[in-house]
A and B are shown apart, each in its own frame.
Chain A
Amino acid sequence: MTTTSSVITLNVNGEKHTLPVDHRTTLLDALRERLDLTGTKKGCDQGQCGACTVLIDGRRVVSCLQLAMAAEDREITTVEGLAEDDRLHPVQQAFLDLDGYQCGYCTPGQICSAVGVLAEHAEGWPSAVTGDVRPEAGAPALTAEEIRERMSGNLCRCGAYVAIVDAVARAAQAPDQASAVSAQDEGSIR
């Protein structure tokens, strides 16, 4: 290896891949061009559209601004790693059932981002539209307004936002999601 490339091991969807990379390689390019995991999409390539969203150690990030080197030994989950055998992840199933897309290009990023949103909400994280961020106020209900704010890092140029919000709300109600939507907000979403 030269001084500007290294051999690294990436842990993707539970599988370890050892590969030489030029240090300039983003995680996005490593996934798509080197590991043939093309579910993760390149949109703007500058952190503004969210199409390349993946999960690292369970948290959503944009893989276009993540250097592959810096992701070494961390647990990377892409859209290909969400389903369990033939059973789709509840977020994937909700996007299918509610047509949370049109052309589909932004969809893998939307889905990975939504998986992150549900985990963040389950941990009680507030958002920019949460009225009272103090912990005493309790976790905010996952209303449509909360979903729109939390998903704002994912652009959809087809404009499928209405169905995307519905799909995230539906997934939040799935039995195996820790996060739950109260009956009261359910009415405000659909």
Chain B
Amino acid sequence: MKEFQYQRAGDVRGAVALLSADPEARFLGGGTNLVDLMKTGVERPARLIDIRRLPLDRIEPTGDGGLRLGATVTNSDLAAHPEVRRRYPALAQAVLAGASGQLRNMATVGGNLLQRTRCAYFADLSKPCNKRVPGSGCPAITGEHHNHAILGASAHCVATHPSDMGVALTAFDAIVEYETAEGPGELPLADFYLPVGDSPHRETALPPGALITGVVLPPVAVAAHSRYRKVRERASYAFAIGSIAAALDVRDGIVHDVRLAFGAVASRPWRARAAERLLAGGPADADAFAAAADAELAAARPLADNAYKVTLIRNLVVSELATLAQEGTR
């Protein structure tokens, strides 16, 4: 690991000032991804600014009936929070489906959004990777890519975003709040991750030097009736090969409101708006669920070894919406 300076930030403005003063500085949250990447040399910061003791560790109601999640709230505290479990159950389930108990006690909301892909080529300094070394190439496209993207990828990068939490946050229209030297700002999570295009090394629309201070969950009535389902290659403690956050409100057999987002299929959590549009106002039955999944997945461009994900996601949409519809009519 490269040597680095370490400073503990006392307040948000101070943290932002410390980062702005050194282009080679990084914020340290739980460290579960950054420290790991520093050990392998993928990340080589000259300075760490520890933000874990900033007063951003609270979950608070917003004036309009939503919730504000502080950036340093741990995954564990998020998933244990009664209001999260009551009003956004798919979010609690998504967080609980990620990592291990130990890692959830360390990892934070802000860090979860900024974690890097687990593409093996990104982590291997002996291999080219356009995300790590722009212009060096993408060996995954012709190589090992069974868990890579089927949606929104480009000829430059087919890596997926590994977050479970982010999938549920995307389904519920979360907004990322941040602070810069120029003052505070916010970004809808839908606009937070940049399209891959020819610059996969540029991952987010956060301004340079910004510190994520929190994530706001707007009041979303349908979220109280939601589920997260994750498929992985072992029963626990593994990244998804496909996942879904789904919320459904059915009234008199007609879809009154629906939210759908997919994980492990794209460079960002994938909001399935085409599917949602097709479902809204229509019948809540298996044919409609399958047609909606097909509409969303029409844009899929699978690689040689990951076409199974198209079927996997389609099946997840049908089964999870059917479960939610059934629960709603009990």
Residues of A participating in the B interface, judged by any CB pair closer than 8 Å: 3-4, 6, 22-24, 26, 45-47, 50, 53, 59-62, 65-67, 69-70, 113, 116-117, 120, 123-128, 130, 133-136, 148-154
Report how many A-B pairs have Cβ atoms within 8 Å: 114
Minimum distance in angstroms from A26 CB to a CB of chain B: 7
Q: With A23-B48, A24-B1, A125-B79 in contact, do A153 and B35 touch (Cβ < 8 Å)?
A: no
Contacts of B36 in A (CB 8 A): 46-47, 65
Query: Please, how many angstroms separate the alpha-carbon atoms of A126 and B1 in the complex?
Result: 37
Query: Please, how many angstroms separate the alpha-carbon atoms of A125 and B78 in the complex?
Result: 10
Query: Please, how many angstroms separate the alpha-carbon atoms of A150 and B103 in the complex?
Result: 12
Contacts of A22 in B (CB 8 A): 3
Contact check, A134 vs B89: say whether CB atoms are below 8 A apart.
Answer: yes
Select from chain A the residue with minimum beta-carbon distance to B83. A135
Query: Please, how many angstroms separate the alpha-carbon atoms of A125 and B234 in the complex?
Result: 23
The 9 closest A-B pairs by CB, nearest first: A153-B100, A152-B236, A4-B3, A152-B237, A135-B82, A128-B96, A23-B6, A59-B105, A125-B80
Contact check, B89 vs A133: say whether CB atoms are below 8 A apart.
Answer: yes
Q: With A60-B105, A65-B32, A69-B50 in contact, do A134 and B86 touch (Cβ < 8 Å)?
A: yes
Q: With A23-B6, A126-B92, A128-B93 in contact, do A152 and B48 touch (Cβ < 8 Å)?
A: no
11 more A-B residue pairs beyond the given contacts A65-B31, A148-B236, with a C-beta to C-beta distance below 8 A: A3-B5, A4-B6, A23-B4, A23-B5, A47-B102, A65-B35, A65-B106, A67-B31, A125-B76, A125-B79, A133-B79
Name the interface size band of chain B: 35 or more
Pick the contact of A135: B76, B86, B103 (CB < 8 A): B86
Minimum distance in angstroms from B111 CB to a CB of chain A: 12
B148 contacts partner chain A, Cβ-Cβ < 8 Å: no
Contacts of B76 in A (CB 8 A): 59, 120, 125
Q: With A3-B5, A125-B80 in contact, do A70 and B102 touch (Cβ < 8 Å)?
A: no
